[in-house]
Amino acid sequence: MSKAFTKESDADDDEDLALPALPQGARNYMTPQGYARMRAEFMALLDVERPKIVEIVSWAAKNGDRSENGDYLYGKKRLREIDRRLRFLNKRLDLAEVADPSLHHGNEQIFFGATVTYATAKGEERTITIKGIDESDSLAGEVSWVSPIARVLLKARVGDELQLMTPGGVEQIEVLEVSYPKPESSKA
């Protein structure tokens, strides 16, 4: 059977599953910096990378037999990847609600964007920053606002003792410090 009549695998369309799904009916909260990074990636793919690949595919298509033309085959594959990423970014940006954590500067209650230092019952201190699903980086001490630790911490205050459900059982934690970035107008 000719390749023209076969459907390509949908396995590549599962990129949306790589990042956690948003809770049903929830907004996609993001910091202004996270939104700007995602928007910049979207625009770079749309305005720079995609036109380059389209030009390469167009040039390769003019070179004859497409079935053995590496530039054409790779270019078409790369275009599918770019288009899939553009669709994903567009969906996430449409759902995005930018929440500026600097509005809470000086507040001791934990909201989105807070940097929280807490102590475990074993005496270990940990510091995390609560960010959006699409922008959190666990290696940098950032957690998503839908993560179990963030859900326990949200709305708590300095001095509160909370119970965190972990795979090893319930763990007692105490909020030691809460901070937010300074508002832009006060940065010098």
> Is the CATH number of domain 18-98 3.30.70.360?
no
For the stretch 98-127, pLDDT in tens is 999 999 988 889 999 999 999 998 889 999
- The pLDDT tens digits for 37-85 are 999 999 999 999 999 999 989 988 888 777 778 888 899 999 999 999 9
Query: Is 101-183 the same fold as 18-98?
Result: no
Tell me the pLDDT tens digit for each residue of 15-46: 444 556 666 666 789 999 999 999 999 999 99
Residue 143, token pair as written in the block: 């957690």
How far is C-alpha 52 from the chain's CA centre?
26
From the list 20, 22, 42, 147, the residue with the least C-alpha distance to 93 is 42
Q: Domain map of the chain by residue range?
A: 18-98, 101-183
Which contacts of 76-79 are long-range, i.e. CB under 8 A and separated by 24 or more positions? 78/53, 79/50, 79/53, 79/54
Pick the CATH number of 101-183 from 3.30.360.10, 1.10.760.10, 3.10.50.30, 3.40.50.2300: 3.10.50.30
d(CA 177, CA 115): 8
User: pLDDT for 139-170, tens place per residue?
Assistant: 999 999 999 999 999 999 999 999 999 888 89
